[in-house]
């Protein structure tokens, strides 16, 4: 089923794939080897605190890249996918800018001296 999904993902309308996996973490690489869509890998902490998954995902052979996020970094994977899609969809670019402005405001607010 995973092979069929990866091979048909582009024709099915997918534009970016996020694949999370733990331990030996074959999933992101397997999908990347069977599609030309960008694949974002998220290593999940299981054994070795997720370092095994991190290394498995980021050490793909030449020609089969997988963008690799931090261990348990699903939020950044989602944001990175939105950044990729924002190249095509202007509405996403606008939402990203708004999101980052909100983050900036929260940081400034947290750094204000408390009375």
Q: Decide the pairing of beta strands 17-22 and 39-44.
A: parallel
Going across the sheet that includes 67-68, the strands are 17-22, 39-44, 67-68
Q: Tens digit of pLDDT for each residue in 79-103? A: 999 999 999 999 999 999 999 999 9
Per residue of the chain (115 residues), what is the pLDDT tens digit? 999 999 999 999 999 999 999 998 999 999 999 999 999 999 999 889 999 999 999 998 899 999 999 999 999 999 999 999 999 999 999 999 999 999 999 999 999 988 7
What's the chain look like in SS3? CHHHHHHHCCCCCCCCEEEEEECCCHHHHHHHHCCCCCEEEEEECECECCHHHHHHHHCCCCCCCCEECCCCCHHHHHHHHHHHHHCCCHHHHHHHHHHHHHHHHHHHHHCCCCC
What's 16-28 look like in SS3? CEEEEEECCCHHH
pLDDT of residue 11: 97
> d(Cα 19, Cα 40) in Å, to the nearest integer?
6
């Amino acid at each position: 089923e995973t092979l069929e999904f990866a091979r048909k993902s582009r024709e099915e309308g997918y534009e970016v794939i996020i694949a999370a996996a733990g331990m030996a973490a074959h999933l992101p690489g397997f999908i990347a080897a069977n599609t030309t869509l960008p694949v974002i890998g998220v290593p999940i902490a299981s054994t070795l605190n997720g370092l095994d998954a991190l290394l498995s995902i980021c050490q793909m052979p030449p020609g089969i890249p997988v963008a690799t996020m931090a261990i348990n970094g699903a939020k950044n994977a989602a944001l990175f996918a939105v950044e990729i899609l924002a190249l095509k969809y202007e509405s996403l670019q606008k939402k990203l800018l708004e999101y980052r402005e909100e983050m900036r405001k929260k940081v400034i607010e947290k750094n204000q001296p408390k009375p």
